[in-house]
Structure 1
Amino acid sequence: MPVVLSVQAAYKRYGHQHLLEDASCSFTDDQKVGLIGRNGAGKSTLCRILLGEEDLDAGEVVQGKKLRLGYLRQHDPFFEGETVSDFLIRDSGQPDWRCGQVAWQFALGDDMLHRPVRELSGGWQTRVKLAALLLHDPNLLILDEPTNFLDLRTQMLLEHFLRDFRAGVLVVSHDRSFLKQTCNHTLELSRGQLTMFPGDVDSYLDNLDERREHDRRLNAATASKRKQLEQFIASNRANANTASQARSKAKQLEKLEFVEVRGEEARVHFSFPKVIPRQGPALRAEDLTIGYEDRDIASDIQIEIEHQSRVGIVGDNGQGKTTFLRTLCESLPVKGGQMKWGFGCQVGVYAQHVYTTLRENLTVLEYLDYQAAPGTNTQQLKDVAGSFLFSGERAEKSIKVLSGGERARLVLAGLLLEQHNVLVLDEPGNHLDVETIEALAAALKRYEGTVIFTSHDRYFMHEVATAVIEVREGRVVSYPGGYDDYVYRTQKEIDVGLRSESTTKATDQSGGASGSKSRGKSDRDLQKQLKSVERKIAKLDDERKTLTAEQVHATEASAAKKIHDRLAALSVEIEALEAEWLELSEAVGAW
């Protein structure tokens, strides 16, 4: 397949850090590539370079003539008060019927289309951005951390979409499970170099370990051979009879070179503070109601959480997971019933978006000193900073220059310096790289306190959770199975939903066989009519775009008037067809 985008002999540096150093790679319109790398390695910078939003210090980015690039940004592109429909129309330039059609693929129904985008949760906002991307008909998608803030159900929908998407994809993600499900190539950015591998992320990492071990063995053999040659040369170069042999061996020695073994990068190493293990309930809720002044989110909550348990809070976005956690942390008042922490519980909190509210004028060490428990000395601060990869000059860096992942690491480091026997963590894995998430999971498994957390990272939930609480449809209940059971059930629900969408509407059980056939036939006829109208609208819309472009360059009055009249007629035709499309769409929905 043709190459649609490439970066060649690229150099990019910030201060003393070399993000790209003579790096090259290319992307075709059928590859699904997962981009991995440590926080601060330059993944988002590489995306901006590929998009033309940032320049290289040297080298070039080459765009193919047929490239249609789509980019899922991390930042918020919405205007204040703008509805979902308004945003999609503004961003894509497509008519409202087309925007609604694409939005439906991401379960953005009529009720969502007319809501202000900024009132939606992060996961629903990501769905809106994805719908906007599709409206541009790209042949290469760049998705920067698409799973951040997405619930499990939406992640699975996105996985289905990407697997079926018939074009190229570059996914920047820390979520190894998501990458394995969606990408057939892996691109690693490490120490300024780009390495493309024709396989998924697990295969790449396994291959990387094998290559490192092969190179180590090769270097060991080379070292042994060098030693033999050096001994022979030393023993024989002064002897006239063997001097020529010694010279020959010297030439062999010059040709022997060690292979550079790609060393593993520094890893985060940490443990949460030692706590005195406790028994019995850490938290008890009876007849609890949670929510806000104008509405209840869930009621009649009967929950008991035991000390030393690690409870994962699950549920779709917008169901109330964060509301529940905020109530537990007492940042939201209880609306009804009772909630009580056990005696001696000291609660530490990691909240979503907390890293965005840090005081940017502080350095890493100054922030840690501010967070630390009384009596913490400077060496202890430096030890914790170093374990989170903030050693030496990095510990003196200002917060304002840290990446999102580095800020998230810093907040976690601050938690370690406080004294807590209960941790409430809201999406602690967002913006952390794969290695840091693994280290965090391992540290929480060693922690002898109580952990209540929510996360959309399946690996993290699987590793950490010993119990599950589900927030769904106004209820908060202890889930009867483990996290793997919850994933299995959700996947089954997704599969059933997708199967029902890909066939005709379910038969009316009360209508009998003949009624089912009649109903199926009517539905298929309506679908055909709907598709026919959509094709007519698309054709007329293309003509309107062409005429609009010609109108700009029209110099003769007669030609300009002719174009104007045709555009007016097109508007009437399109308006009538859109009205017909709405009627047919409603009829299909009724069936």
Structure 2
Amino acid sequence: MPIVLSLQDAHKRYGPQILLDGASCALTDDQKVGLIGRNGAGKSTLCRILLGDEELDAGEVVRSKKLRLGYLRQHDPFHDGETVLDFLLRDSEQPDWRCGQVAWRFALGDDMLGRPVRELSGGWQTRVKLAALLLHDPNLLILDEPTNFLDLRTQVLLEHFLKDFKAGVLVVSHDREFLKDTCDNTLEMSRGELTMYPGDVDGFLANLDERREHDRRLNAATLAKRKQLETFINKNRANANTASQARNKAKQLDRLELVEVAGDEATVGFSFPQVEPRKGPALRTDNMTIGYPDRAVAEGVSVEVEHGSRVGVVGDNGQGKTTFLRTVCGSLDPKSGSMKWGFGCQVGVYAQHVYTTLREEHTVLDYLELQAVPGTKQQAIKKIAGSFLFSGAAAQKKIKVLSGGERARLVLAGLLLENHNVLVLDEPGNHLDVETIEALAAALKRYEGTVIFTSHDRYFMREVANTVIEVREGRVVSFPASYDDYVYRIEREVEEGLRSESSARPADDAPTGGKPSGKQSRDAQKRLKSAERKIAKLDDEKKEINEKLLTTTDPKKAQELHERVTAIAAEVETLEEEWLELSQEVGAW
């Protein structure tokens, strides 16, 4: 497992904040590594440094000559009116047969290849970007928050891709379930240091808890020993007969040191206000149609939410989860039908992207004071701010300088200063780190009010939801089983879809001249696969020769290599023509 990218004695800081303080790490071409750390630890900055988009203050990034780095772009790289196939051809400069072959791995069939990319949902666009990434044949991928805003179906597809990917991966994610399913190593970024753990994120967190407990016990024993020595010294240093012993004890005392508890960083303290438990329906909808003036998103919506339940709203992106939440919290009127909250329900809302609309000139305390119930004491507001890691000078920060994670925490803190017995939360975990998501999940489980929420984070969903509502194909219905059952169903659907995409095309649209015999069909499929294997093998050989051409200093050897590359190009061209004819023949069947 050769090292293809490494960081050596790296230093990086922004103003007073130290992100890297002599940190080092090494990435190989076969490790799948999950990068975790608190909000603001510098994970995205580290990715930019590794990609060469940002410089270190000191230290070195060492890139192997064999490194072929791939990066999942967050921005939109598409041209106006460009189809999926057009983009893949332009971006990769690969032949259309190869683009189609890779696109199939992401369930991008022929019908999708001809569609304009910008008309697709965010999840489908991510699939297109991943196909483009794979066409560049990288041996190390860097993925920064790849699951943000991806629905479960696309997350599962991405997991399949990463599990099958035969090279190195560095994934930055707050989604614990996704990291556990895709990464076999964990890299922690904390206090300017990078620590590699040879195990998944669950193993890392369990090991971290064990180390914390060990260090706490060691410190407790050290403090007890220190107290014992101090007592002896105080009693005996003035006595001539025992003064020598007291001096020896004083030397022992000087050698006693407390250890820093591993990873023991400040954590968010969620505690939702106490509410009076209730029974019966909190929300009832009757034959409701939801949507917008120009279109309906779902019809016949008749669901009931019980007081005290925690309802996870699930469904693919674009199906209408957010439309449903906006309707039930009153920011969007039903197109028809009725909806009614139970008597005394007070609804608090956390909406997607709400933190982008905050008044940037306000400070943290300004915002919390505006959100708080009239009469809330300043001390109570400061206590809430401190529990969300906005204590001291941090409470006076302007909103315009806060990161996405800090703004998300601030809005959640504001909810705690209001009086609600119902919470409607749209993607509350986005931009929150692993520890904060865990704290939020634990607080919602303790909360005795009603929670209606949606999230793409499977750990969070699994921990919080005890009831599931599904939005799918124009319907909103109570799902008859658990969230785990829903995940299982989606995984099966994805696997079946991938199998059908990769299998031979059905012969039900053969030309009128008649269908080929079974033997003819099998022979054609074999020749098609054989041509694909030969082309792939020649492509690999061509890459190896080109690498040798870059390093050889022998003119005779260089000439031989150049002649072989020319011969390979001619052979590939012939094979591609053969592949195209066979592909059209098989497709016609």
- Number of residues paired by the alignment? 564
Q: Which residue of the partner structure matches residue 175 of structure 2?
A: 175
Q: Does 1:140 align with 2:148?
A: no
RMSD: 3.8
Q: Which residue of the partner structure matches residue 528 of structure 1?
A: 527
The alpha-carbon distance between structure 1 residues 540 and 347, as it changes in their structure 2 partners (threshold 3 A), is: same
Q: Is the 8 A contact 1:427 1:453 kept in 2?
A: yes
Secondary structure in 2 matching 1:390? coil
User: What 5-or-longer segments of structure 1 have no aligned partner?
Assistant: 509-515, 551-566
Q: Is the 8 A contact 1:311 1:467 kept in 2?
A: yes
Deviates more, 1:471-480 or 1:413-422: 413-422
Q: Is the 8 A contact 1:505 1:520 kept in 2?
A: no
Secondary structure in 2 matching 1:355? helix
Deviates more, 1:382-391 or 1:342-351: 342-351
Task: Tell me by how many angstroms 1:136 deviates.
Answer: 1.6
Paired amino acid for 2:194? L
Matches within 5 A, 1:81-480: 82-222=82-222, 257-262=257-262, 264-480=264-480
The alpha-carbon distance between structure 1 residues 339 and 227, as it changes in their structure 2 partners (threshold 3 A), is: closer
Q: Is the 8 A contact 2:524 2:582 kept in 1?
A: no
Q: Is the 8 A contact 1:74 1:145 kept in 2?
A: no
The alpha-carbon distance between structure 1 residues 116 and 404, as it changes in their structure 2 partners (threshold 3 A), is: farther
Deviates more, 1:223-232 or 1:361-370: 223-232
Paired amino acid for 2:339? M
Distance in 1 of aligned mates of 2:22 and 2:185 = 21
The alpha-carbon distance between structure 1 residues 306 and 227, as it changes in their structure 2 partners (threshold 3 A), is: closer
Q: Is the 8 A contact 1:124 1:317 kept in 2?
A: no
Deviates more, 1:73-82 or 1:106-115: 73-82
User: What 5-or-longer segments of structure 2 have no aligned partner?
Assistant: 509-514, 550-565
Distance in 1 of aligned mates of 2:264 and 2:175 = 19
Distance in 2 of aligned mates of 1:438 and 1:540 = 47
Secondary structure in 2 matching 1:202? helix
The alpha-carbon distance between structure 1 residues 404 and 81, as it changes in their structure 2 partners (threshold 3 A), is: farther
Distance in 1 of aligned mates of 2:439 and 2:516 = 57
1:64-105 deviations in Å (ceiling 9; x for gaps): 111111112444444555543444344333344433332221
TM-score (norm 1): 0.83
Q: Is the 8 A contact 1:310 1:466 kept in 2?
A: yes
The alpha-carbon distance between structure 1 residues 522 and 265, as it changes in their structure 2 partners (threshold 3 A), is: same
Task: Tell me by how many angstroms 1:490 deviates.
Answer: 2.4
1:306-350 deviations in Å (ceiling 9; x for gaps): 232221111222322223223333444433333333444333322
TM-score (norm 2): 0.84
The alpha-carbon distance between structure 1 residues 272 and 473, as it changes in their structure 2 partners (threshold 3 A), is: same
Secondary structure in 1 matching 2:100? helix
Q: Is the 8 A contact 1:350 1:424 kept in 2?
A: yes
Deviates more, 1:61-70 or 1:516-525: 516-525
Distance in 2 of aligned mates of 1:374 and 1:231 = 53
The alpha-carbon distance between structure 1 residues 147 and 385, as it changes in their structure 2 partners (threshold 3 A), is: same
Distance in 2 of aligned mates of 1:272 and 1:221 = 36
Distance in 1 of aligned mates of 2:103 and 2:346 = 45
Distance in 2 of aligned mates of 1:277 and 1:234 = 57
Q: Which residue of the partner structure matches residue 487 of structure 1?
A: 487
Task: Tell me by how many angstroms 1:159 deviates.
Answer: 1.6
Distance in 2 of aligned mates of 1:143 and 1:153 = 18
Matches within 5 A, 1:539-554: none
Distance in 2 of aligned mates of 1:185 and 1:13 = 26
The alpha-carbon distance between structure 1 residues 425 and 213, as it changes in their structure 2 partners (threshold 3 A), is: closer
Matches within 5 A, 1:38-77: 38-77=38-77
Paired amino acid for 1:383? K
Q: Is the 8 A contact 2:329 2:424 kept in 1?
A: yes
Distance in 2 of aligned mates of 1:129 and 1:383 = 44
Percent identity for Structure 1 against Structure 2: 75
Deviates more, 1:147-156 or 1:524-533: 524-533
Q: Is the 8 A contact 1:361 1:399 kept in 2?
A: yes
Deviates more, 1:141-150 or 1:326-335: 326-335
Distance in 2 of aligned mates of 1:140 and 1:181 = 18
Distance in 2 of aligned mates of 1:478 and 1:517 = 48
Q: Is the 8 A contact 1:175 1:434 kept in 2?
A: yes
